[in-house]
Amino acid sequence: MAWDIAVKTKVYHLLANEIFFRIYNGTYPPGVKLSSFPVFAKEVGSSPETVRKAIYELQKHGIVERNRLGFFVTSNHEKVLEYRDSYLAAVEQRYFEAKQKVEETVLEINQGQF
């Protein structure tokens, strides 16, 4: 059996998701200014570059907006809901892929291939 290991999740994606969850649950309410990259990095125990990538990822999806004063949480609730739905769809897809892999393994075991 071939190895099926795919490490695709980057640390900045994990951080972006965590920031998003804090936006979604109100820890960072709409319109609030986010800390600078170095300050944020100290808070989360990461590098400023990782924080920058995470914030830019959220900015790309409209969750965070940038102006001359810094980065702010969007006030557009629809963007937040869209991002939530796309995140949940991706999690669901990974779940079904893992479930299929388990079912195939069980089938192989039941057919005596192990």
- Give residue-wise pLDDT tens across range 28-41: 999 999 999 999 99
Tokens of 62: 């409209």
Are 15 and 54 contacting, i.e. CB atoms less than 8 angstroms apart?
yes
Are 70 and 55 contacting, i.e. CB atoms less than 8 angstroms apart?
no
Tell me the pLDDT tens digit for each residue of 82-95: 999 999 998 999 89
pLDDT at site 40: 93
Q: Which residues pair with 72 in a beta bridge?
A: 33, 65
Look-up: residue for tokens 């809901």?
A: 81
Residue 60 has pLDDT above 60, yes or no: yes
pLDDT at site 105: 82
Residue 67 has pLDDT above 90, yes or no: yes
pLDDT, the chain, mean = 90
Phi first, then psi, for residue 67 (nearest 5°) are: -135, -170
Q: Does this model's pTM top 0.85?
A: no
Distances (CA, A) of 80 to 21, 47, 54: 10, 25, 16
Classify burial at 25, counting beta carbons within 10 Å of its beta carbon; exposed 0-12, middle 13-18, buried 19 or more: exposed
- DSSP secondary-structure letter at 5? -
pLDDT at site 27: 95
Q: For the domain covering 11-110, report its CATH number.
A: 1.10.10.10
Are 53 and 62 contacting, i.e. CB atoms less than 8 angstroms apart?
no
Q: What is the mean pLDDT of residues 72-83?
A: 95
Q: For a pLDDT cut of 90, what percent of the chain falls above it? A: 73
